[in-house]
Amino acid sequence: MTKIQTQEKLDKKEILKLFKSGCKSCEQQKIGIEYERLPIFSVTSKAADYSSEFGVCNFLRNFAKEENWDYITDDYNIIGLKQGHDTVTLEPGCQIELSLKPEKTIDELKKRIDELDKQMKPILDKSGISLLNYGVSPLSTHKSISLIPKKRYHLMAKYLWGILSDVMMRETAGIQCCIDFESEEDAMDKFRIANKLAPFMTAMFANSPIRGGVETGYKSFRALSWLNTDNDRCGFVGQIDDKFSFEEYIDYVLQSPMIFINRESGTIPVNGKINFSEFIENGFEDFTANLDDFKLHANLYFPEVRLRNFVEIRNHDCSGKGLQYAILAIYKGILYSHSAMKEVEELLKPFEYRDFSELRYNVPKSALNTKFGQYFVKDIAKEILYIAEKSLIEMDTGEEKYLDAIKEYTLNGITPADVIIRNWNGLWNKDIKKLIKFVNNKRG
């Protein structure tokens, strides 16, 4: 490869500006959600496809027409919709994701989601589609779920080497929480604490024990799939220690192998031949690295907690019954309070990086019953909940009410998955229809 001389190299300072542009005063800080759900055909319980007469593409087309949304396309294929700052987009296996404009309160986000669900329901009903609040496809497996016609996803599917990467891409649905920061120091505090909280939150909200019509032996099969997707771009970034910085995060992203780049002429596969640092230094074929290339590459990096011009916390099974808002409430209560962050730091102080790393691997199977040092995860999870609730009460916004949905599980030492497993082997007699009805009921 010849060294690129014709254009100035992308400077790390330009990349740093992307992150620093996220700094906001406390008054400006908001909370955001990305909320994925699994579309299934109500009659068969199988995953809804993209292109059939009653498939997800036609749902998007009809919803756009009824509610005046604009198309998001890829080579003329509809892959999502947008209206203002809100989007309804498709993940690789047709999972439907709502990504909403961040708001000051969880109440505002919930109101918008309720509004969108109300608008979508009659159109989904006409197609015979239900959106499932669950972490993994309960009946269809990746072998029968086709990728949507988005070039990026086909390149990712060919590249990702983990034995469960196809499961992650085509079968799973999660909830992500987005948090603002005041400064680089504040971002690093939030990043570090969010990483330490991540395996506990994965455990508390485990909601994917049944997959392909059978009990898997895991309480979060979705979390297991991420452990087996691509170790070069998944997991913790760094040692989640005190000295981390924007620049060090960027360095990790730069060292990860590239999958592809986009140009006007189309998508150019890189397939891991070089990392982004090498791309900046030497180019790739006739192409020189630019800031948009970095943004794309950083978006193809999938750690437990991802830094952008906000902090994105990623590893939670999709769930309903108010649990989706409990996730936001816990993070808001802890990460928007300096005293709550200090309490969590103190709570988790006895443990080292290797403890958290090991916990991440054990939680998908046993969730709250996972051993962590001389404790069980459920013991620490209760303390986390207590800290979050106390902080939310002090904020005086009334948002502590959103913790009620998870308290009835965690305070009893169980997860949504435990309730599903018990019913699956008992009252439901392994009936998928009863599982689906349970996870989509507004109440337990």
How high is the mean pLDDT of the chain? 96
Would you state the CATH architecture of domain 30-235+317-440?
2-Layer Sandwich (3.30)
98 CB neighbour count, 10 Å cutoff: 20
- Strands annotated E in 29-127: 31-41, 70-74, 77-83, 86-90, 96-99
pTM of the complete model? 0.96
Q: For 11-70, write each residue's pLDDT tens digit.
A: 999 999 999 999 999 999 999 999 999 999 999 999 999 999 999 999 999 999 999 999
Secondary structure letter of residue 190 according to DSSP: H
Q: For 387-404, write each residue's pLDDT tens digit.
A: 999 999 999 999 999 999
Tracing tokens 């994701």 back to the chain, one arrives at 97
Looking at residue 6, what is its pLDDT? 52
Q: Is the pLDDT of residue 341 over 70?
A: yes
Q: How far is CA 242 from the centre of its chain?
A: 24
Looking at residue 2, what is its pLDDT? 42
Give the pLDDT band (50/70/90) at residue 419: very high
Q: For 218-246, write each residue's pLDDT tens digit.
A: 999 999 999 999 999 999 998 887 789 99
Bridge partners for 302 per DSSP: 234
- Is residue 50 within 8 Å of residue 94, measured between CB atoms? yes
Per-residue pLDDT, averaged over 109-117, amounts to: 98
Q: Is the pLDDT of residue 386 over 60?
A: yes
Which residue type, as a one-letter code, is found at position 383?
E
26 three-class SS: helix
Which residue type, as a one-letter code, is found at position 335?
L
Looking at residue 311, what is its pLDDT? 98
Domain-by-domain residue ranges, the chain?
30-235+317-440
Give the pLDDT band (50/70/90) at residue 197: very high
Per-residue pLDDT, averaged over 251-278, amounts to: 96
